[in-house]
Amino acid sequence: MAQAALKDTSVKEFEKKQEWWWAAEKKRSKRLDYLRKAIWKKGAIGGLYAPGVKVDLERAQLHTQKAKEMEMSPDAYVIKFAKMFAHILDNKTIFITDHAQLVGYTGSLPHTMGWDPSAASILNEEAFNDPTAIPDPVDVNQKVIREINNYWIGKTDLDKMMPVFDMEDLMKMLSGSIGWGVPLARGGYSSKDYEYIMTGKRAFAAIIDELDRKIDEVDEEVHQPGANAEISKAYDKLNNWDAMKITLEAGIRIAKRYARLARIIAENFEEDPKRKEELLKIAQTCERVPAHPPRNLQESFQYDIFIQMMSRTEAIEGAWPSRPDYYHGPYYDKDVNIDKTLTREEALDLVGEFIIRAAEVCQFKPKWTREGLQGIDGTWVWTIGGVDRNGKDACNDLTVALMQAARLVRVANPTLSFRWHPKVKDEVMREIFECNRQGLGYPNMRNDPILVANTMHWYGHPIEEARLWANQACLSPCPTTKHGFQPMRMANATANCAKIIEYVFTSGFDPVVNMQVGAETPDVATFKNFEEFFAAWTLQMQTIFSILVRAVNRARTLAPTMTPRPFLSGVSERSIESGLDTLDPSIERGNSWITAFTWVENVDSLAAVKKLVFEDKKYTLAQLKEALAKNWEGLEEMRLDFVKNAPKWGNDDDYVDDIMLRCLDEAAKFSKVLKDPSGNNWPILPENVSGNIHYANIVGALPNGRRLGDALYDGGISPGPGLDKKGPTAVLKSCGKIDHITGGRAFLLNQRLSPTQLAGEKGYQLWSSYIRTWADLGIDHIQFNMVDDATLRSAQKDPEKYQEVIVRVAGYSAHFVDVSRKTQDNIIQRTVQGLG
Amino acid sequence: MSRRDEKRQAYASQLVPQKQNLDADKKGAAHLVCGLCKHYLETSWSADGRGSCSILKFGSNISANPPVYVLEGKEGFLTKTLSDASACKQFEKMQLIDKDGYECSDPVYRRTLRQLQEKE
């Protein structure tokens, strides 16, 4: 929009037109406006990065340089790894953005993406092959990348792990047909032991002191007369503790580098006295944290950012498990309400900047991840609200400030996830509603009492710990406690479930990747009744889940020695105490789950087979098998019969809803047969991110009437787009038939609501009543898109004018213009539900 | 040969990372390559130019003289985007779809096309 038009139009006029992004731009402070516009858009647009965003070669070169230098070093691997980490932090380029109060970034420059060349050759090959992400001059830098890649071949985490996996399972996974991601412990979703590091009791210096005591104590023990297995294990502990110490010391040093930079700018270059003061405050902050515990809100945010930056230097993290209001809230209260060192406006600026600092974080990721997470770098789903360990309402002033700041900065990532419970105050609910009404697509709503019970049911987390949960990625609750937190959830336990029903028709042979992937069940044409058909479905489900889980279990078992995480261990109480790497399954309670992409296609397909084949006898299984093999070509009438005349999930129809319950029951039973290396269960979690688009060309024709290439359904238990014909309450009633405690880990539900209908107080009351029904039915999750079709169509037609429109994709939000046309169409196709 | 040996043999070509050589890739460009064939399938490994054929099976060799075509079996034929397919009788040139390079998945051959363009 032209500056003149922006200036001449009032906030109220923009709000009336529901052009919330322009209203936000006019409402936010000059600082926030600058910072918001200064960040580079890092989420992939469709499957490619935005112009100008480049792979960070500096980090890759530093990493490689140190690795080569230490090849002949006598150090244990974990110590070598810690030294590589320290070398990167000690030598990477650092910068401070103008007007910023918080510092720290994963790359060396604002437009770069951190690239870890030690993770996987498959990723390095992408860096080599993707000219859009190679920094200029491309010819020269492609050679630099080649040199780096050639050094790491055979040495990356994945290259080292491959020979110890089962080759058949690995190839089935890597075919990309049934799973997503690779089984790496330094690549996935990493929670933190926030109860240990974010409660203000200790920070790096105190931990280093404790490590020194531990090392001296055990060092003395191992040199006493005598020898046994415990002493043998003690050498590994000593190495682990040494490595933790190296990383924490490096963490303190890089913070001091930022402090020094801030002072140099303040004392030598900055002429504005106010900015000079801010730079000196940054210097003081970085001298304080992470060495010592924070004393105020700025230090608390900075401490958190440093921990995230360091953790993302150590590993490729695709999520940001966090509970910012719970852990930073006390500092907000102290600064704003008690000491009054910050006004509410100043605090809001700081909160907004904290969100922006997270929004800019990016690590170079492979194509399948980019396509599965279009528009974002990873799922930064920050958990707010909920209860404390005693069950009391944990909402505070920062809960509200985070939502207000989110409406001002309007980034798609991070998003907020609200833990609803019956004691939440109306003023907080109104903030949630306002964020959604203004089209952010967040916070989503999580049913806290249900999820606390669910967390206890599946993993046996004690209630006091279960109440301290944060989303591990999009939706899976995980306690932020000593034995409860999950140091790494590997994304490859993500099943493309539509293949389950597809494989029933192909006896497990995958026609897309030309490989026997599933179980060799009998020819589908020979099944005499639905029970035989369902038994084949169950076996295919069990086979696919097992392939994925076996690899994760293997990787987690080997992780402590093959892919240790000394920094994450250094901020984990259980590792400080035991000397074991934090990835060691023996010190984790276990919080594994299988993400079930494209789940509902199974339910609608099974219902269609049961009804049209076995009950109505309109078609034989042989005919259906042939139709699917031909992708319904020349059989449009038959296809439409399967679309229109078979019951569909989401209409409060027991016929198909009972099939959903039966499928979930089979999966839940099998979840307890599968065990993770901690001995805990593997429940399923139906959701999709953008997997419904990513897999569109990989999943063949299905009995629900789908053709190869059609977008799959958009959400975990969301009905197919346009197939929920009986209104929003019917959708809730179908979803409410599921037991959200014992039926699975969590269940994603997308709903589109009309922003016009939800205007004003009446709109809030309608939404509020809908949320009460949702809660009463015991559904664990719901999220909303409240952007109308006209706006979305206009954005497709004229994307330049609608750069800031945000939509809910799946477990995350994204700018509408950043997702592929197919995903855009899929969002528009979702039924707009009228309430009341 | 044990079943495990068979799997190892069938999959080895995809499992082992290969060193990258810029110059070698630019030499001897064939006019008809697997990446332009409608039977060529991308896999998760396609970033470095690998894929498979939806017609041929393990044991085929399209660079042999005469080419060997195996059409039965459970394991697919692994090939590369830039493999010379001029002698393959199964080759059918796909219809190229001119679409925005940022489009996701559709066409699935987006990366293949870009690699081929760079090659020219």
DSSP state of A44: -
Structure confidence at residue B21 (pLDDT): 67
Euclidean distance between CA atoms A210 and A200, whole angstroms = 16
A822–B74 CB contact, under 8 Å? no
Q: B8 to chain A: which residues are within 8 Å by CB?
A: 167
The type of residue at A360 is E
Average pLDDT over every residue of A343-361: 97
Task: Give chain B positions within 8 Å (CB) of A159.
Answer: 17
Tell me the per-residue pLDDT of A70-80, one tens digit each, with 9 for 90 and over. 999 999 999 99
For A474-525, how does the pLDDT look when each residue is reduced to its tens digit (9 = 90+)?
899 999 999 999 999 988 899 999 999 999 999 999 987 778 899 999 999 9
Q: Where are the beta strands (DSSP E) in A723-779?
A: 750-753
Query: What pLDDT is attached to residue B116?
Result: 45
Query: What are the Cα distances from residue A489, in Å, to A173, A177, A189, A585?
Result: 16, 20, 5, 12
Write out the H or E segment, with its range, that includes residue A553: helix A530-562
Instruction: Please check whether residue A678 is in contact with residue A604, taking contact to mean a CB–CB distance below 8 angstroms.
Output: no
- DSSP-derived letter for residue A447 is E
The residue among A55, A129, A598 with the most chain B CBs within 10 A of its CB, best to mutate, is A129
Picking from A99, A133, A155, the residue at the C-terminal end of a domain is: A155
In-domain check, residue A693: no
pLDDT of amino acid B22: 62
Angle of helix A397-409 relative to helix A324-332, nearest 10 degrees, comes to 110
Which residues lie below 8 Å from residue A514, measured CB to CB, with a gap of 6+?
B41, B52, B53, B54, B57, B76, B77
Of B41, B77, B104, the CB nearest to A820: B104
CA distance B31 to chain A (A): 21
A60 and A106 housed in the same domain: yes
Contact status, residue A476 vs residue A484, Cβ threshold 8 Å: no
The pLDDT, as a whole number, for residue A46 is 67
Q: Is residue A785 within a helix (H) or strand (E), and if so which, with residue range? A: strand A781-785
Question: B14 to chain A: which residues are within 8 Å by CB?
Answer: 171, 174
Q: Report residue A178: phi and psi, to 5°.
A: -115, -15
Mean local confidence (pLDDT), A347-362: 97
Clarify whether residues A148 and A82 are in a common domain: yes
What is the rounded average pLDDT of the residues A661-671? Answer: 98
Residue A620 CA: distances (Å) to CA of A525, A529, A609, A625, A638: 8, 11, 9, 9, 12
Say what the ipTM of the complex is: 0.72
C-alpha A33/C-alpha A509 separation (Å) is 54
Q: Return the HEC string of A277-289.
A: HHHHHHHHHHHHC
Note the pLDDT of residue B53: 87
Question: Is the same domain home to A64 and A132?
Answer: yes
Residues on chain A touching B9 (C-beta within 8 angstroms): none
pLDDT for residue B84: 86
- pLDDT, chain B, mean: 69
Shortest distance, CA A147 to any CA of chain B (angstroms): 9
Tracing tokens 């089935």 back to the chain, one arrives at A172
Identify the residue with better confidence: B49 or A722: A722
> How big is the CA angle at A336 (ends A332 and A341), to the nearest 5 degrees?
110
| Of A518 and A709, the one with more pLDDT | A518
- Closest CA–CA distance from residue A223 to any residue of chain B (Å): 44
> Tokens representing A287?
């001298």
Nearest-CA neighbor of A111 among A158, A47, A170, A42?
Answer: A42
**How many Cβ pairs within 8 Å bridge chains A and B?**
123
User: Rounded to an integer, what distance in angstroms lies between the CA atom of residue A712 and that of residue A734?
Assistant: 20
Q: Do B15 and A162 touch (CB under 8 A)?
A: yes
Band of pLDDT at residue A226, cut at 50, 70 and 90: confident
DSSP A516: E
CA–CA gap between residue A686 and residue A321 (Å, rounded):
19
Which pLDDT does position B108 carry in this prediction? 41
Among partner residues B76, B101, B114, which is closest to A515 by beta-carbon distance?
Answer: B76
Domain coordinates in residue numbering, chain B:
37-119
Q: pLDDT tens digits, residue range A159-204?
A: 998 888 888 888 888 778 898 778 888 988 999 999 999 999 899 9
Compute the nearest-CA separation of A146 from chain B (Å): 6
Q: How far apart are CA A160 and CA A156, in angstroms?
A: 6
Q: Give one DSSP letter per residue of A176-230, joined into a string.
A: TSS--S---TTEEB----HHHHSSSS--HHHHHHHHHHHHHHHHHHHTSS---HH
Q: What is the dihedral of CA A55, A60, A61, A67, to 10 degrees?
A: -170
Summarised one tens digit per residue, pLDDT across range A272-320 is 999 999 999 999 999 999 999 999 999 999 999 999 999 999 999 999 9
Q: Are B20 and A149 in contact (CB < 8 Å)?
A: yes
Please state whether the peptide bond connecting residue A721 to the residue before it is cis, i.e. omega within 30 degrees of 0.
no
**Domain span holding position A63:** 54-118+121-155
Name the pLDDT band for A629 (thresholds 50, 70, 90). Answer: very high
Cα gap A670→A673, rounded to integer Å: 5
* pLDDT attached to residue B109: 40
Q: Report the 3 state secondary structure along A85-144.
A: HHHHHHHCCCCCCCCCCCCCCCCCCCCEEECCCCCCHHHHHHHHHCCCCCCCCHHHHHHH
Instruction: For residue A230, tell me if it sits in a domain.
Output: no
**Which residue is associated with the tokens 């078609």?**
A619
Of A367, A511, A693, the CB nearest to B47: A367
Q: Per the domain annotation, does A410 fall within a domain?
A: no
Calculate what percentage of chain A has a pLDDT beyond 70. 99
Q: Residue B64 carries which DSSP code?
A: S
Nearest residue of B to residue A692 by CA position?
B105
The pLDDT, as a whole number, for residue B79 is 84
Summarize pLDDT for A113-137 with one digit per residue, the tens: 999 999 998 889 888 877 778 999 9
Give the pLDDT confidence score for residue A479 in this predicted structure: 98
B37 Cβ contact partners less than 8 Å away, ≥ 6 residues apart = B53, B85, B88, B90, B91, B92, B93, B94
Mutate to test the interface with A, among B25, B44, B82 (most CBs of A within 10 A): B44
Tell whether B87 lies on the interface with A, counting CB pairs under 8 A. Answer: no
Share of chain B above pLDDT 90, in %: 11
Q: What percent of chain A has pLDDT over 90?
A: 75
End-to-end CA distance of chain B: 43
Assess whether pLDDT exceeds 60 at residue A15: yes
Is A358 a domain residue?
Answer: no
For residue A95, being part of any structural domain is answered with: yes
Placement of tokens 């409406």 in the chain: A407
Torsion, Cα of A21, A26, A27, A28 (10° steps):
90
Token pair 């309007």 is found at: A410
Are A60 and A151 within one domain? yes
A17 part of a folded domain? yes
- Taking CB atoms and an 8 Å limit, are A167 and B53 in contact across chains? no
Residues 133-152 of A with CB under 8 A from B: 142-143, 146, 149-150
Cβ-Cβ contacts under 8 Å, B114 against chain A: 131
Based on its alpha-carbon atoms, the radius of gyration of chain A, rounded to whole angstroms, reads 26
Q: Is the pLDDT of residue B37 over 50?
A: yes
Instruction: Determine the length of chain A.
Output: 836
| Chain centre distance of CA A247 | 25
Clarify whether residues A61 and A88 are in a common domain. Answer: yes
The answer to whether residue A590 scores a pLDDT higher than 90 is yes
- The helix/strand/coil state of A84 is helix
Interface of A with B in 157-176 (CB under 8 A): 159, 162, 167-168, 170-171, 174-176
Q: Mean pLDDT throughout A262-268?
A: 98
Domain tally, chain A? 2
What's the pLDDT score for residue B47? 62
Tell if the CB–CB gap between B104 and A511 is shorter than 8 Å.
no
Which has more confidence, A664 or B7? A664
* pLDDT, position B48: 65
Confidence of residue B99 (pLDDT cuts 50, 70, 90): very low
End-to-end CA distance of chain A: 36
pLDDT grade for B102, boundaries at 50, 70 and 90: very low
Determine the pLDDT at residue A306: 98
Q: Residue A379 carries which DSSP code?
A: B
Sign of the alpha-carbon dihedral angle for A618, A620, A621, A624: negative
Number of Cα atoms under 13 Å in the Cβ half of residue A74: 0
Q: What integer is the mean pLDDT of A772-781? A: 96
Find the helix or strand (DSSP H, E) in which A510 lies.
strand A509-510
Distance from CA of B76 to the nearest CA of A (A): 5
Domain boundary among A102, A137, A155: A155
Query: Taking residues A657-666, what's their average pLDDT?
Result: 98
Distance (Å, whole) CA A720 – CA A738 = 17
Domain identity same for A93 and A66: yes
Strand locations in chain B (E) = 40-42, 50-57, 76-80
Residue A601, number of CB atoms within 10 A of its CB: 25
A519 is written with which tokens? 């179980």
Residue whose tokens read 């993993």: A459
Residue A510 lies in a domain: no
The pLDDT mean for chain A works out to: 93
Residue spans of beta strands (DSSP E) within A401-555: 415-420, 444-447, 469-471, 477-479, 494-496, 509-510, 515-516
Domain-embedded: residue A336:
no
